[in-house]
Structure 1
Amino acid sequence: MTLKKTALLLVLALTLRGGAYAQNLIVGADFSTRFDNREYAPNEFGEPQTLFSARLSPRIGVEWQQKNRLIVGADLLQNFGDDTKFLSKARPILYYQFNTKNVQANAGIFDRKELMGDYSRAFFSDSTAYYHNRLSGFMGRYQPASHPKTYVEMAIDWEGMYSHASREMFRILSAGRYTADRGFYFGYAFSMFHFAGRKGNENVTDNLLLNPYAGWEFNAYLDFDIRANFLFAPQRGRSVDHLWRKPCGGQLDITIRKWGIKIENNLYLGENLQPLRNYAANPATGLTYGQDGLYAGESFYATTKHIYNRTWVGYDRTFFKGTLGVEAGMVFHCDGTGLGTQQVVKLSVDIEKLFNIGTKKKH
């Protein structure tokens, strides 16, 4: 049975059961296209390449009692220049969502944008966030309506099934933020990645990352956001030497905005946060941990020069009540070995429409 037929049957079944409560039919779609040209030849820790793709994620579902949603959809990705098949990837979206004034919970396969936490590029690089855009598992968040910039969330993403072809992998994520008076805020982000073996290659690697931070948002004609971060990355490759490596460092983030123009600078000073990157992950294939997927963060955090500076200069703004987003800019990367540049252009669309398909509650 095709995904389209499954979605239609789901909506029909819930519609026929709609005699007790009013229901809404949800029809929506996300679209994005992203050009990312990376000129990293002068850098030791970045890989030069050009990524250019388009993604369409149509979805359909039912909402009932204003708190419950059941969604079915598809994530369709096409890498430009890949003419070997109709789509580069086609994957399902299927999840239940419970949503109240203060609480949201998801279960199933859902989009990464459902997460609210501020996970820096040390956790997920731009390309990881774009190409691994779905989470498979659970997510729960508490966000008091009286303090919309204060929240705490936790999620689990099951990324790989134990077999001859793939590793058993899952990631536990958590983030929280408390916003105080006068724009001051405090928060954290956390990741625990269980990177186990596959059949015929039994080994387990533990990869953790903790990022407590404090910041200040204020306006002085321009909008400023200044944040101080601490990054702590304990990890152990049990197939390497069973030793816990505990690299850490500090990062200062400064963002300035006005009329959609954005200047952002991220300065990291510290140790190599990806010390297992060049160790053998699978001797049979010759892959290293860096190639086999242990690290989802930006590869520049593997710097052995104790410095990584990223500067973004460009335009980032939404239009039409947030349904259309435009992002274009130049990025400069300095890892202590050279200066690399990156040009990024991204256009995104997110639309959703509700249609009443049920009846009011019977008496």
Structure 2
Amino acid sequence: MPLKKLLSLLFAVLMAGGGLRAQELLVGVDFDNRFDNREYAGNEFNVPQTLFSARLTPLVGVEWMEKNRLVVGVEMLRNFGQYNAPRDPFMSDVKPLMYYRFKTPNVQADAGIFDRGELMGDYSAAFFSDSTRFYHNRLSGFLGRYVSTERPGTYIELAIDWEGMFSAESREMFRILSAGRYSTRSGFYVGYALSLFHFAGSELNRNVTDNLLLNPHLGWKFNAFFDFDIRGGLLAAPQRGRSVDNHWRLPCGGQLDIAISRWGVKLENNLYLGQNLQPLRGYIANAETGATYAAEGLYAGESFYATTKHVYNRTWLGYDRRFFHDTLHVEAGMVFHYDGTGMGTQQVVQLSVNLQRLFDIGPRRPAPGHRHGHGPRH
């Protein structure tokens, strides 16, 4: 739907909702600038490259009854240095943003196209790589979540992201995501993250794959001058290529995550020991013809988890902090990757700005002690 039609639809909703109490106009803009230099020449399971991009997302919406919000916007992405013959486009990509949100202190429900940042679950890099988080930053579908206000850190969420439509050019793809956590007052917690990805076929390519990833885990958050978060869990990835050999593969392993932070300075280490969690990457479908299974788009996680050396270690050291009432987020650091074949480094700098403001456009509320059409109460 063109942006002009989306804005016309929002204007119509605003006019139709003129009789609602506590109605407010939302105006906002998000900005992200990310530099990501990957020096992976010594690694076998990832590719060296430099990614440098900026994204601007202006949005406008209406909020009513303090719980409902309807928003439309446009997301404009520019990849620095990109050149597409015969002419260089003004923007590398332009996509819509449009969603309805219902939110209370305990419950949130989203429908439409909304930011991935609305997910509360702790999905490791085995689920989503840095590139996926930044360049596939929107979910198209639904999100539902319950948060306990009596026990902080306790929640459960379920989302569906429809990533592709069946056609001659694209596959039908959808992902179901779920995560939950139960936290104790002493800082111990138990939780899980789950992804079920249905990677179906197109009119020209009938390959269908089921790709699951499950991460149950136990952890402990505490403070001993520094803030510590220590977590251990299982990564299990049942998957099968139904159109290839219809054989279930059950790779799994264990992961230990340790994060130490204070004043915005952060050290984080993620150690994975186990099998190749992406066995269909580059899989030979037919030994006689040498045809390979088309796995592009099948895995959203870091390709380091395709290691056949049974080890992958990621160490992040840097600065991560928010300023000005959480409107500005600065992240800068060095990342060290070891995949059993060599050491690779990654330098990351990201700056994010999030600005939103509500303007009262609904009927005036009566002053305290007054009622519409009546004098003061005695």
Match for 1:357 among 352, 361, 366? 361
8 Å contact 2:69–2:102 — kept in the other structure? yes
8 Å contact 1:15–1:358 — kept in the other structure? no
8 Å contact 2:305–2:312 — kept in the other structure? yes
Matching residue's letter, 2:6: T
8 Å contact 1:254–1:265 — kept in the other structure? yes
Matching residue's letter, 1:97: R
The Cα of 1:181 is off from its aligned counterpart by 2.2
Correspondence 1:93-104 to 2 at 5 A: 93-104=97-108
- CA distance, structure 2, for counterparts of residue 202 and residue 271 of structure 1: 28
Report Cα offsets for 1:200-231 as digits up to 9, x if no partner: 22121000000001101111111111000110
- CA distance, structure 1, for counterparts of residue 327 and residue 293 of structure 2: 41
8 Å contact 1:310–1:331 — kept in the other structure? yes
The Cα of 1:144 is off from its aligned counterpart by 1.9
* Structure whose CA Rg is larger: 2
Correspondence 1:295-314 to 2 at 5 A: 295-314=299-318
- CA distance, structure 2, for counterparts of residue 2 and residue 160 of structure 1: 19
Q: What residue number does 2:66 align with?
A: 66
- CA distance, structure 1, for counterparts of residue 294 and residue 233 of structure 2: 26
> Any idea what SS the aligned residue of 2:350 has?
strand
- CA distance, structure 1, for counterparts of residue 96 and residue 149 of structure 2: 32
Percent of residue pairs identical: 68
Correspondence 1:195-210 to 2 at 5 A: 195-210=199-214
Q: 1:333 to 1:20 in 2, by over 3 A?
A: closer
Correspondence 1:44-59 to 2 at 5 A: 44-59=44-59
- CA distance, structure 2, for counterparts of residue 321 and residue 168 of structure 1: 41
Q: What residue number does 2:250 align with?
A: 246
8 Å contact 1:11–1:62 — kept in the other structure? no
TM-score computed with the length of structure 2 as normaliser: 0.92
Match for 2:324 among 320, 323, 339? 320
Correspondence 1:203-282 to 2 at 5 A: 203-279=207-283
- CA distance, structure 1, for counterparts of residue 56 and residue 292 of structure 2: 32
TM-score computed with the length of structure 1 as normaliser: 0.95
Q: 1:59 to 1:52 in 2, by over 3 A?
A: same
8 Å contact 1:63–1:70 — kept in the other structure? yes
The Cα of 1:19 is off from its aligned counterpart by 1.9
Structure 1: stretches of 5+ with no match in the other structure:
none
Correspondence 1:1-363 to 2 at 5 A: 2-4=2-4, 6-7=6-7, 9-11=9-11, 13-83=13-83, 84-279=88-283, 288-290=293-295, 292-360=296-364
8 Å contact 2:207–2:244 — kept in the other structure? no
The Cα of 1:91 is off from its aligned counterpart by 0.2
User: What is the aligned residue count?
Assistant: 360
Structure 2: stretches of 5+ with no match in the other structure:
366-371, 374-378
